Chains A and B, each alone.
Chain A
Amino acid sequence: MNDTGQSTVAPAALVIGGGIAGIQASLDIADAGFRVYLVEREPSIGGRMAQLDKTFPTLDCSSCILTPRTVDVDRHPGIELMTYSEVMGVEAEGDGFKVAVKKKPRYVDVTKCTGCGLCAEACRMHGRVDSEFDEGIAKRSPIYVPFPQAVPLKYTIDPNTCLYLTRGRCGKEFLCQNACPADAIDFEQTEEIVELEVGAVVVATGFDPFDPTKKPEFGYAQYDNVITALEFERLASASGPTAGKIVLGEREINDVVFIQCVGSRDKQVGNPYCSRVCCMYTAKQAHLVHEKLPDAFVTVLYMDIRAFGKGFEEFYDRVREEGAFYRRGNPSEIIRQGDQLIVRAEDTLLGQPVEIPADLVVLAVGMEPRRDCQSMAEMLDIPEDGFFREAHPKMEPVGTGTEGIYLAGTCQGPMDIPDTVAHAKAAAAAAMIRLARARAKTK
């Protein structure tokens, strides 16, 4: 409050992160009539949910239910979408916050770019950079959109792989510039710091998937046909790099083994917690294998099955009825015999060690805090316990202890999509209460 007794809180919110949590929180806050600055560090919003094929237990197509929301964000007059931007500082000022946002140079004028993609096709490095969105299964150009439904549908030049930006030269002339009919390519762009004033902050920075090279016994780094669940999602997706076919090179896939709890419930890797989503996404993936490869033999190696949500146990029943063999035992290692992978485990119900042949092994990697969670916590001055820590585990699930800063989604802990959406709506409600109170005072 200032000395006239009026609130100094700007009727606006900052939302950090443009995954489903940030999208939902932004839409709710903006729908309530407050201004929203949605900051996303990647070139597009959409987050992890955009990468997924189907969702459990209803088998809704993930991008089909997500895309209407991303489009709504783009069109919403109350939301200022700042993609390819990073929050550099959040300072409490009066009752609100002063925020510094770095807009990274895209080297593409977004007011001119029509998203036609001719630049990417023309680029000398076309098809030679691993696509992050496709988990490295497909390739992209250094000038790219992460995926066809990207919002905004504007191209970005990746400074780490563009020949000109890394080496200072790219042939005699810029092929992207020549190809662009809109004259949108601009190598002169520089980063820009934007200052914002907001009354509330919603942190929706998401999670990182567990890095399976930390469990070297599974040979993820050695064997091409040991993949993560996210890679499987890209293989299964009809709009993915294999058009939905489960294929890995020339190999015919007959035996598929899923391994649960990779990097979850595991003190050896410092993740004692359950990631909450892997049991069900694995059940869904087992279903997808049967749908796409009806003759495949699917084995799911598990310790316990946690099917606790609405419709979850029923879905688990269905997947087993389809023929997925749930075998109790946490496998210890994967080795190669000839050109066949062998998963070694104890079937604890038989009480016998077993060697299970596999053409494809899918690791159900768990959720981890973002690598930069700690520095983010310091910048925002909020507590963390690996993930960001809620103010009270029961009564304050979105608060942080710092007035005006709220948590949404998996930055607070592992959650599935429905829980994330609910959590994000709760964070939005908390932010709106604060903004509405401030507005009432100014009237």
Chain B
Amino acid sequence: MKLTDCFWERKNLGENVCEVTVEDGESFDSEPFLDLNSRYTYQVIKLPTGNISFNTGLARLGYFHIETQLNWVKKVRDFDFCNELIVRLEDNLSFKDVISEEDLSLLLNKIDDDMFSTDRIALDPQYGLAIGRIRYCNWIWSEFTNKSSYISFICIEGTPVGFLMLKVNGRKGYGLLGGIFKQYQNMGLGVLTASSFLLYIRVRALDVSSYYTTTSSNNPTNFRIYNKLGFDLSSMTYVYIKHVKPAE
């Protein structure tokens, strides 16, 4: 097991947060989890699907399953850029990189509470949509400030309809975040949240051989889109959470 102190979440969520990552094949032991309660008021446990001893053990300790993460991968060279849906969407599509403070401000202003409504923070009654939005805005701001990701508007006929945030590490590309702005949602552009990253890699001629991203079981439409576009589901991860009342 690997424990991460998510110090950055203090700014987002206002409490001490940890994330525990369980490796494949690990057996459940309650001892390390009991120790967490005195240090962290919000605990996130991620484990590979199918580890039933962990599932039942975590449930006994008061953790509950909030989502299953679906981990997708696609070799860029294998992506079907000729897929009729991609071809149709690519028509009049362009990208405008977020490079100035003004661009960033414009982007953050376009992100509304509903944009990431299936996110586990947004769905958590303890947090909700507004906190979920602030958390994502902080993340975008951080990636922009650190210049650690490509951030770009997705434009149709020159009008920004959404955005993407792509991190490149070596020859691997990671789709961190993307979304369609509220006024353009439910009009077929959701497919762009999956395909725009590959199109961006191609348009910008980035030296990326494999593309990785994660979606949530709480967003079944996203599952259909990735499946339809030929992404490979490489693994799935259960996500359990627990809120601990701070000691009086």
Chains A and B are bound partners: no
On A, residues with C-beta under 8 Å from B are none
On B, residues with C-beta under 8 Å from A are none
